[in-house]
Amino acid sequence: MGLLGMNLASVLLLAFAALVGLVMHELAHAVAADRMGDPTPRVAGRLTLNPLAHLDFLGTLMLLVTGRFGWAKPVPVNFANVRHYRLGLIWISLAGPLANLIIALLASLPLRAYFSGGLLAGEATGQAALLLLRVLMDVNLGLALFNLLPIPPLDGAKVVQGLLPPRYSLRFEQLEGYGPMILVLFLVIPGAVSAVLGPAFSFLYRLILGV
């Protein structure tokens, strides 16, 4: 689901889901860093639900256009302040995608009940609520998967860096300067995002909904 071919109601639903997904993703990063000893996100004003503190114009537009994949402003983290550097690198990086997965799972609960016949939603309001939950699930599942790609500056790259032995971790970190260029190429090559993330999205979608 993207902006093209959508009516106003669908655009508003997608915008709401994007807002929730992006804000909670970055807030989770900020909270994780703060809990692990780094005050940088707090000083930068990122421990907030205020969307203006988190949203990135291009990343939000990307999410609205694709309906699934996008990003927000990265939370500034000084890992020199973080207790247990490697564990902190992994946990803080995973916090954002995990927040999106939790939202997707919570949204899926009423949907599972509906598809199994345990929930009736015949009225217009009920159908609208189910549609909102469907969009929330789609968007947050897409955000989680996209941000777990091991391409700097996405979260997956930091997770890989934290998991690698120190020698290889340093070499991987040195590739960070090429990350944005690789990411741009990945985004502009027609069909690349769907080819890489589509199968994983479909598998998790069916797994979560039990269909």
CA angle, 87 as apex, 160 and 20 as ends, to 5°? 75
Distance CA 193, CA 27 (A): 25
> Which residues 6+ apart lie within 8 Å of 164 measured at CB?
172
In the numeric block, the tokens 């990135």 are attached to: 56
User: Cis omega (within 30 of 0) on the bond before 76?
Assistant: no
Q: Among residues 29, 146, 25, 20, which one has the least CA distance to residue 76?
A: 29
Is 123 labeled as catalytic in the residue annotation? no
Q: Is the Cβ–Cβ distance between 41 and 75 less than 8 Å?
A: yes
In the set 26, 123, 173, 176, the catalytic residue is 26
Catalytic residues: 26
